[in-house]
Chains A and B, each alone.
Chain A
Amino acid sequence: GAVVSQHPSRVICKSGTSVKIECRSLDFQATTMFWYRQFPKKSLMLMATSNEGSKATYEQGVEKDKFLINHASLTLSTLTVTSAHPEDSSFYICSAPQVNVNTEAFFGQGTRLTVV
């Protein structure tokens, strides 16, 4: 099946720095990707829809200046957590649909971000 690769799987950064997380579709093109955030022992909350060649669409309550999304190619979307704070520590996961092939969502392995 289709594979979505997310990198890095774990990252620890200092408060005030920025962290970039990559999401790649390995064997298919994805004009749309989705970014989710998961707090400990909670469900996944949709943060934003990443659109290739245009601006991302953010869900209500998500700060777009805090969570910068760039979908520069048909196989890569990046999420940059800017000026990270400890409360940004979370599990971030991306997904990419294989549009017009099936409707199963393919998820990356997730990135555990710890801000110290």
Chain B
Amino acid sequence: SQQGEEDPQALSIQEGENATMNCSYKTSINNLQWYRQNSGRGLVHLILIRSNEREKHSGRLRVTLDTSKKSSSLLITASRAADTASYFCATGDSGTYKYIFGTGTRLKVLA
């Protein structure tokens, strides 16, 4: 399969709690990106982390990357109902700029 794996597949939490999603991939990468997709809508770019970076923050988002384990995590702190969406990781190939998506995590934040 061309896809990376994400877990959990689905996550349901209460507003205010933190949400952690994990992504594992198979090949060497140049960078890894996280995207959000609301139901039936397009992709929203959240954050990009390069292969030589280990951690990155953007607002309530924290992304880590462990290239030795070929894995990444996305942490959303103090979650809100508006964070309810599907989250995908996508790994980038520096040679081709081709992105391969993970299987996704469906997050539901209950008000």
List A residues at the B interface (Cβ < 8 Å).
Answer: 32, 34, 36, 41-46, 49, 59, 91, 93, 95, 97, 99, 103-105, 107-110, 112
Contacts and interface: CB of A to CB of B under 8 A. Distances in A.
A95 B43 CA distance: 10
B102 A43 contact: yes
Contacts of A104: 33, 45, 48
B42 A110 contact: yes
A93 to B, nearest CB: 7
Contacts of B106: 41
Interface string B21-64: 00000000011010100001111010010100000000000000
Contacts, number: 61
Contact of A97 (B97, B101, B104): B97
Contacts of B14: none
Nearest to A109: B42
Interface of B: 2-3, 30-31, 33, 35, 40-43, 45, 48, 50, 88, 90, 92, 94, 96-104, 106
Contacts of A42: 103-104
A103 B100 contact: no
